[in-house]
Structure 1
């Protein structure tokens, strides 16, 4: 792929390296991509198991009222974990609000991640340390940020690649169009990973586009486009890895659509039974990305009972650390609200700070 400098039309069927039964795929369906090494596949399996346990624990904490809201990524682990694993330490990730497990896989601690979801900070981690931009709630805005950073890296001679996640609903936003066009015109080293989980809250893909696939849009912008089985973590890793190296080599951006499914509700405030049926959910549960890879690794003798037990122990230890993080109350200073608004504090802001400080002091005295 690294010698591709122009549009590549997505395949009719999603690229696949391991089928739903856990068997290695050969022939045209692979589109020429090779199955990653066993060591990489084992790491992908481990990271997906940890991510799912973390996701389940955070969902439980939200239902207990210990977090304000949480958008689960259950079922989408293949897209997210493969993408992060394909990145280098110098590459930047631009996530959406649903991509928490990607942050976890890239090294952000549970307490830093959950600061966002319990309202302590908008971003509880240092973006420069992890090379991760703040999680974006507005749809598609982070895609433009990613292209901006990628273009700046190119002008500096830095080999960093900017990778951004988008949902299928995000691709209907004007910001997405601007990001795709900007990236292609400027040959920015950017990779757009579209997680097509079938539902933009309650709006199905069929009501958003008449295109054959979302990845088909890539050719209109003059960039390569790939349509991938998003529940095949091996295929996602191979394609994203190739796209990143293509961008790093100076060939510009790539659009990748990972076909997957959102098993849980949009957030804990959503009722998916109002717009989709149980049979659809059951169909996609049978295509579980973790079980697919586990079957393959077990069949080739790489995933032994010992290895599986070690991974499960690590997942439970992570869940315990996550619970412990929520048992510690955050130390909050309301006056921090004014600290990062302007480089030089303005008189009006100073007055507002003084007013709030007076109110806080009065309320503490009354107590």
Structure 2
């Protein structure tokens, strides 16, 4: 049955902010969401993963059993608020001059509340349409991200509940609501290199092998030229030296080893495996004796323009009156895990204050986001 008054996301956003869910704590946030979703006909599953006594709380909720299956993904964990600079308690959910303040207001408790408000309005008007809607909400996005979305997706796959498409509600808008739809993300990997030499007296370098000199030459090889010039939807891959350490306190000793740390943000022209080989090649070119450990927090991914992305574009045009740019910039998000299973994109609030002191979102923007999310559902299930 249709309702004339739109659902207001503000009370739910305030209730979520008032849960001090600094990662990995839940602090009651998922119970707040369960209480909001169950009356809408959602079956809720509380999923706990991780070492005994340190389990991460997650929530999977679904309404419907048929297709198409649309999933909204997000997180209720937040970064620490810091100790100084807040005008009010970071977990007060205060509203001043039409602006909602609190840790998570922007990233991304406000977005989750907006989706549920938009969802409420959509179901009131179109609840008899076929298809399924689910929410995947984790408490492990701001932390190591090992026992959150990754594990929930594995659980979903085992039950045959992988969606046909997913929308992550990160605050991806840049200046105005809906000006950007993220259709991919760069990959991110870190390399830890230890290069070995032969220790000796600095007055007799011919009797030693200085690993610092060799490592400097390796780093020059890696940074002197760009790795690529970018691709159709991605900017150029970047390699940054983020650490250099020798641990030598004696000014007349050539040390036995030198260490460097590198972070690479890479586009869809590469994989972590191909870039690892690129690093090995630079080290071998300098005849280095070395050890290298590589950690990849996520491969690059791209959701190519198609029916799902076009539906998101139409929704933004209808609701916000602008044509969104398709973007792949920024850091990583849990979309990198979802991309392994189904098409995924990101669309949310303006991210100007995320992780900052006095994090906030205008209440009017929150309500506009709820209307946008309702329109997304209308377009997806049209």
Q: Which has a greater percent of strand? A: 2
Query: Fold-level match, TM-score > 0.5?
Result: no
**TM-score, normalising length: structure 1:** 0.26
Q: Which has the larger radius of gyration?
A: 2
**TM-score, normalising length: structure 2:** 0.25
Q: Which has a greater percent of helix? A: 1
